[in-house]
Structure 1
Amino acid sequence: MTQGENQTAEFKSSLKLLNEIGETISGLANTSGGIILIGVSDEGKILGVDIGKKTMEDLANFLKENTDPKIYPEIKSLKIDDKKLIEISLKESDEKPVFFKAHAFQRVGKTNQRIYASKIRELAKQERVKLHWDEKICERANLEDVDEEKVKWFPEKARYERRLEINPNTSVREALERLELTRNGRVTNAALLLFGKNPQRFFLQAETRCGRFKGTKPLKPFIDMKVFGGSIIDQVDVAVDFVLRHISMAAWVSEGKVEREEKWEYPPDAIREAIVNAICHREYEQGSNVQVRIFDDRIEIWGCGLLPEPLTVEALNGRK
């Protein structure tokens, strides 16, 4: 407090200044983060503030309900010179711009300056470059939404197949941090897709629809149709099983041999790879799901999204 207000510190004399506090939250979130002390005058004099049973909860709810994306700062009470203060601290947001009541602000020195269309577009463009959808925090989720058993299973599997050294006894929080599936202690969209108890609670489109059609066109009546939810790891396994149930396998015993030989109508490894690619590389921000369509003469696997630059369809087809 001896340093006064600055780029990362703001004083507010009273909780009656809720809108000003909200504007500061937006400003700090869009700049470098910082703290707000409530119960301190602009000059740094300690005034104190009344803190009731629901004061902290009401303040947290006010900020959450009036910010977009929602901000969940750390709020705690302090006692200095026998006077109570409230400290709000937050880091620079991973998702910019952060709005308060439909307006966005940024810190310039010790003031909050409203930002307008050109700056908002600039922040949004920077954000698109910096963070992919799967890296972003899922604001409605927490560690309770992550399946502990799935997280414990993965390090052992990954260590065997990819030489990823994570102790199986590591806590869920630490394992997710090692896998870079949390940001500032919050779970990311990718964490929920991979290990969520119910990812579809947060992402309705995160499912795989499999169908076996009669003939060569996607027309009713179909022979079989299933929609698979759960984690994307589970979806790969059940989608592959669905395909294998609906394609043919030839089997024979060659002359002079004891063991039976088998050959699938389509190579199972190729089917799995195609399904994995569709599920893992799709654009989850879009509303459509992954589709696996089996016809009499072919299999189609659909996943919405664009090829990562600089790949093109022509290049993949060998024409460029």
Structure 2
Amino acid sequence: MSKSQNIEWKESWRDEYLKWICGFANAQGGKIYIGMNDDGEVVGVEKSKKLLEDIPNKIVNALGIVADVNLHNKGGKDYIEIIVSANPYPVSYHGEYHYRSGSTKQQLVGPALNQFLLKKTGITWDSVPIDGIKPEDFRHDSFDIFREQAERSQRMDSKALSVDNPQLLDNLNLLNNDIPTRAAILLFHHKPEKWIPGSFIKIGYFKSDSDIVYQDEVHGSLISQADNVIDLIYLKYLKGIISYDNITRVETYPYPKEGLREAVLNAIAHKNYATLTPIQIRVYDDKIMIANDCVFPEDWTVENLMKPHKSRPYNPLIASTFYRAGYIESWGRGIEKIKESCEASKNPQPEYLIHHEDFMITFFAGKTTQTPTQTPTQTPTQTELSELVLAVIREHPEYSQKQIAEQL
């Protein structure tokens, strides 16, 4: 018998092994063998018949579940097999929640416990209602941006978009008994950090990992963040190489805009906002790194991500609203679109770093045959215009591109 993530061997019984049984019940189930050493060899267990009676009672009394407990004999030595089934409901041991992950047992606390309980009860994190706020408390800005984008994407008809804001929230399934959900507040409220700290984006320009030159923070609703953050990156953090096609000015940037946009918008949509940590975008001379906390399915790897896969969003309400606005796809094609954009622009393919609770993508600058001259890359008028755009974004992060243009 070989040891696996679903099998434990113990030479003798201790009541603390009830925690292991709890962990198996909360995960995929498993087996514990009492009377076997770490090599899987039967060494025997004393008072096996008494344990055969005691262990099932201890499991029921401490955990409230039933497990199969069987007595076996090999070479004249008794050993006990405890078979634990995966439980559809959360199982606790004296108020503690344990979980089997790989070959180790973990006690769940904090955000991990919240996530586990929501998953077991079939509730998503972004669908939880928030008391103390009404749909009428939301400002119009983000709704205006959404209506404009959704109409352009043609993923909602004009009739569904022409309703008032509270009804639009309801149409998007963002209300729970007329109470705004976390998704509603994140997507449309101009100050979501009042309820969900860390729901913003940090951008920094770095000369090295320890040498930051300047930085910005993009606050406001997720809809307004999505509408503004890419423009901010290209206006302030990236240098375009200037060329001319006859009399037409052409700016070439070192990164594919569609690929970068796809990565940033997916980071916003799929972030684990329960960790209270902002999305971080680090811009260097030769690369851009986008990092965010997230929750991947346990069986996912980089290989799974790179192949065609189903869309399994952690924030289904946020993802659905972003889809209707035309910001993201609903087919799990984000990575494919990034790959295609890098191929089209002849950029190196990005690198991906995946852990169960965080994700980082690194874009690398493309090579170009053009060399920037010593002449300014922007005329004074263009420089002034960029400065005005940045000033408007800083003062009104909730503005849409159309509203920014009107301010100029």
The TM-score with structure 1 as length reference comes to 0.55
The Cα of 1:311 is off from its aligned counterpart by 3.5
Give the secondary structure class of the aligned counterpart of 1:128.
helix
The Cα of 1:176 is off from its aligned counterpart by 0.7
The aligned runs of 1:55-94 (5 Å cut-off) are none
Separation (CA, whole Å) in 1 of partners of 2:138 and 2:93: 39
Aligned length: 199
Contact kept in structure 1, 2:118 and 2:125, CA below 8 Å = no
Distance change >3 Å, CA 144–CA 197, structure 1 → 2 = farther
The one of 194, 199, 206 aligned to 2:192? 199
Amino acid paired to 1:240? I
Match of residue 267 from structure 1: 256
Distance change >3 Å, CA 119–CA 171, structure 1 → 2 = farther
The one of 163, 170, 189 aligned to 2:163? 170
Tell me, yes or no, if structure 1 residue 251 matches structure 2 residue 242.
yes
The aligned runs of 1:1-320 (5 Å cut-off) are 117=92, 127-129=118-120, 130-165=122-157, 166-214=159-207, 217-220=208-211, 222-244=212-234, 245-254=236-245, 257-308=246-297, 311-317=300-306
Separation (CA, whole Å) in 2 of partners of 1:138 and 1:316: 33
Separation (CA, whole Å) in 2 of partners of 1:259 and 1:276: 30
Give the secondary structure class of the aligned counterpart of 1:260.
strand
Higher relative contact order (CA 8 A, sep 6+): 2
The Cα of 1:313 is off from its aligned counterpart by 1.7
The Cα of 1:149 is off from its aligned counterpart by 3.9
Gap runs ≥5 in structure 2: 1-90, 98-113, 308-351, 353-408
Give the secondary structure class of the aligned counterpart of 1:155.
helix
* 1:154-200 superposed Cα distances (whole Å, 9 cap, x missing partner): 23431221330244441222111111110111101111111103111
Q: CA RMSD in A?
A: 3.0
Contact kept in structure 2, 1:145 and 1:197, CA below 8 Å = no
Gap runs ≥5 in structure 1: 1-115
Distance change >3 Å, CA 283–CA 317, structure 1 → 2 = same
Separation (CA, whole Å) in 2 of partners of 1:135 and 1:146: 18
The structure where helix makes up a greater share of residues is 2
The Cα of 1:117 is off from its aligned counterpart by 4.6
Give the secondary structure class of the aligned counterpart of 2:214.
strand
Amino acid paired to 1:261? V
Give the secondary structure class of the aligned counterpart of 2:275.
coil
* 1:36-78 superposed Cα distances (whole Å, 9 cap, x missing partner): xxxxxxxxxxxxxxxxxxxxxxxxxxxxxxxxxxxxxxxxxxx
Identity of aligned residues (%): 26
Separation (CA, whole Å) in 2 of partners of 1:306 and 1:239: 23
The Cα of 1:219 is off from its aligned counterpart by 1.3
